[in-house]
Amino acid sequence: DVKVTQSSRYLVKRTGEKVFLECVQDMDHENMFWYRQDPGLGLRLIYFSYDVKMKEKGDIPEGYSVSREKKERFSLILESASTNQTSMYLCASSSHSSGRDTDTQYFGPGTRLTVL
């Protein structure tokens, strides 16, 4: 079974703090994704990575950055947290390979971040 883990389930930070959210997958997937989930807005893609050290902006990258130094790990960084970044953050991974699993994303449990 694919396993995607996230460093924290709940996190409380103060405005202006630098925040790191980490995601680790154990299936050797090439692709990794960071989403934020807000009521009524569904899932919105922040950034994704298709290989080590490679990244692409998603739909809402402003205020975020990412790092992928190892294939299994993808970090989301909030350089200076703001209250409007209070949200649920979901990490996901998927494989490049064709076949039954093509395009299927596997999700972590999520991190609920509150910025005060």
Site residues (CB under 8 A) for other proteins?
31, 33, 40-43, 45, 48, 50, 58, 90, 92, 94, 96, 102-110
- Please tell me the distance from the alpha carbon of residue 24 to that of residue 109, in angstroms, as a whole number: 11
Q: Which is nearer to other proteins, 28 or 79 (CB)?
A: 28
Question: Least separation, in Å, of the C-beta of 109 and other proteins?
Answer: 5
| Closest CB to other proteins among residues 15, 104 | 104
Tell me the C-alpha distance between 11 and 2, whole Å.
25
Minimum CB distance to other proteins smaller for 51 or for 79: 51
Q: What is the token pair recorded at 107? A: 């999700």
CB of 42 to other proteins, least distance (A): 4
User: Shortest gap between Cβ of 16 and other proteins (angstroms)?
Assistant: 29
DSSP annotation of 100: T
Shortest Å distance, C-beta 29 to other proteins: 10
